[in-house]
Structure 1
Amino acid sequence: MTLNTPALDDEARAEELLLSVQDSLRDLRNAFKALKERADMGEDVKGAEIKSNFRDLGTVLVNCQKLETTLAEARQKRGSGGHGGAVLDLDAARAEVRCALGRIRACCRAGSVSE
């Protein structure tokens, strides 16, 4: 039987976006590390650079929290019993049954399997 599962699609999308946010966090960590190294070497680090990185960090953290919440909600929907928001695709189920019956007919060479 074929099920369309919006909750699983939402979950997959949220996981994909969360990986992207994690990449952004890694990039920001590297940027802060580079700024620290520059400052440790006595190079002049502008306050604007630091403020910009902190602003970006705040944005990424907010996005990360939102995605984690979305992911938790999608997982909760999936685990809440029933079909987890799944919708029955009757046309696809019908096609699967027809295909299975066709294989049975071919295998058994029986004309007694109903159409």
Structure 2
Amino acid sequence: MTTETETNWLDEEVGIVTAQLRDLKAEMVRLQARARNGDMAAAKEAQKTVAEVRTFLARAAETEARLAEINGRHGGARGYALDLDGARVAIRCRLDRLRRCHGAG
């Protein structure tokens, strides 16, 4: 059985990761729209967003490891299932499209 501290930590982390992913997705959509409209300043902002994506992925990996640890000890963590591989693929695809918009190769 998970402890209250573990449950609170997990609930908080899942909420944070979900919010970050939602924010990063919205930012990438905004940057893509700006790039399509010829706003080259969007490229600099894209660099910042890429750094945020890296931070997100590190935090998601930490959460995933902690969840695996809890699952290993307790045989399940209240049905939480983060599709981190899917999130990574989606983020990489968006970054690739953004790079193509700016001709970065």
Q: TM-score range by the shorter chain?
A: 0.5 to 0.7
The structure whose residues are more often helix, as a share, is 2
Identity rate, percent: 24
Q: Give the equivalent residue in structure 1 for 2:60.
A: 64
Q: Alignment length, in residue pairs? A: 76
Residue number among 5, 8, 20 corresponding to 1:24 in the alignment: 20
Q: Give the equivalent residue in structure 1 for 2:6.
A: 10
Instruction: Say if 2:57 is the partner of 1:43.
Output: no
User: Which is further off, 10-19 or 63-72?
Assistant: 10-19
Greater relative contact order (Cα 8 A, min sep 6): structure 1 or 2? 1
Larger Rg: 1
**Shift, 1:6, TM fit:** 5.9
Q: Give the AA of the match of 1:38.
A: R
Instruction: Say if 2:75 is the partner of 1:79.
Output: yes
1 CA distance for matches of 2:65 and 2:27? 27
1 CA distance for matches of 2:44 and 2:28? 13
* TM-score normalized with structure 1 length: 0.57
* TM-score normalized with structure 2 length: 0.61
How has the CA–CA distance of structure 1 residues 7 and 76 changed in structure 2, closer, same or farther, with 3 Å as cutoff?
A: farther
